[in-house]
């Protein structure tokens, strides 16, 4: 898969249908291993620092209490896990299948968090192990969205909640088109320049977002997985959406 001289993981052919690739999971893992060293710097730069606000808002919507045990899926370098830890739950565990992302997460100073290398579609935890299962900007990258949501539901206790933060396409009449132009034309070039990425990761980003399920469909997917009440909130002219779904 990465035998090409330029290390390209996402080329034009695969970007035409990023979610339909049979080896999508392997490509996503290789992509994140490659961009791990510059991942946080690029996120801060391209979101103008708003990514921290998005995570804090999602944690606030989760209404974390001192008895909560949190599992953060596709945790990357640990930003979302640390945001949950700042709310003082009983325990936080971050898991990801990219070992380079996990190594960076574990190297950061901060609150005590457990780290586990695991596939979000086959979690090594018993049924009902956690009261919160979260994922920031990761469900879009799963090979099988339905299976991943089923796993979130399985590891939650009754009364637990799934907290998902994901990119979405804006609906604002004036700013929306400007953002779409930035997102599809400027962001990939700027991110590639900052990160010196050669995998196609930042070309994959806008294509994977624009071709992913819309917020209304995500709500239906959560209900199909067994969740009852689902709340959602669009942030920053709708470029990200927070979903909180309760297991009855």
Q: Identify the pLDDT of residue 141.
A: 97
The answer as to whether 200 is a domain residue is yes
Q: Would residue 89 count as lying in a domain?
A: yes
Residue with tokens 């320049």, as numbered in its chain: 193
- Would you list the DSSP string of 156-206? EEEEEEEEEEEE-----TTHHHHHHHIIIIIHHHHHHHHHT--S-HHHHHH
CATH number of the CATH domain containing 36? 3.40.50.150
* Mean pLDDT taken over the chain: 94
What are the φ/ψ torsions at residue 77 (nearest 5 degrees)?
A: -85, 10
- Is 93 contained in some domain? yes
- Residue 1 lies inside a defined structural domain of this protein: no
Per-residue pLDDT of 140-173, as tens digits, reads 999 999 999 999 999 999 999 999 999 999 887 7
pLDDT at 62: 98
Quick one: which of 248, 228, 27 has its CA closest to 143? 27
Position 179 scores a pLDDT of: 87
In a domain, 4, yes or no: no
Q: Per-residue pLDDT for 97 more than 60?
A: yes
The mean pLDDT value for 8-18 works out to 96
Within 13 Å, how many C-alpha atoms sit on residue 143's CB side? 14
How far from chain centre, in Å, is Cα 114?
18
- Does a structural domain hold residue 3? no
Asked, for residue 6, whether it belongs to a domain, the answer is no
Q: What is the pTM of this model?
A: 0.94
What total of structural domains would you count in the chain?
Answer: 1
In a domain, 230, yes or no: yes
The Cα–Cα gap between 104 and 221 comes to 32
Q: What is the pLDDT of residues 29-61, one digit of tens each?
A: 999 999 999 999 998 988 888 999 999 999 999
Q: Taking residues 205-212, what's their average pLDDT?
A: 95
Structural domain harbouring 203: 12-246
């Amino acid at each position: 898969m990465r035998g090409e001289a330029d290390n390209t993981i996402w080329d034009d052919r695969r970007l035409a249908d990023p979610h339909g690739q049979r080896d999508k999971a392997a490509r996503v893992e290789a992509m994140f291993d490659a961009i791990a060293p510059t991942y946080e710097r690029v996120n801060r730069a391209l979101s103008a620092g708003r990514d921290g606000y998005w995570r804090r808002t999602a944690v606030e919507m989760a209404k974390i209490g001192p008895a909560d045990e949190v599992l953060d899926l596709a945790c990357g370098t640990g930003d979302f896990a640390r945001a949950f830890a700042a709310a003082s739950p009983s325990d936080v565990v971050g898991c990801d299948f990219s070992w380079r992302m996990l190594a960076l997460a574990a190297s950061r100073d901060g609150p005590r968090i457990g780290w586990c290398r695991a596939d979000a579609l086959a979690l090594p935890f018993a049924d009902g192990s956690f009261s919160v299962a979260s994922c920031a900007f990761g469900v879009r990258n799963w090979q099988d969205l339905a299976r991943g949501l089923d796993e979130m539901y399985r590891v939650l206790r009754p009364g637990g909640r799934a907290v998902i933060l994901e990119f979405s396409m804006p609906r604002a009449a004036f700013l929306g088109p400007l953002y779409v132009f930035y997102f599809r034309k400027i962001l990939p070039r700027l991110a590639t320049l900052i990160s010196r990425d050669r995998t196609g990761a930042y070309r994959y980003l806008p294509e994977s977002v624009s071709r992913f399920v819309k917020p209304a469909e995500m709500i239906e997917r959560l209900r199909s997985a067994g969740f009852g009440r689902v709340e959602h909130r669009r942030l920053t002219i709708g470029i990200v959406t927070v979903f909180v779904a309760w297991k009855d």
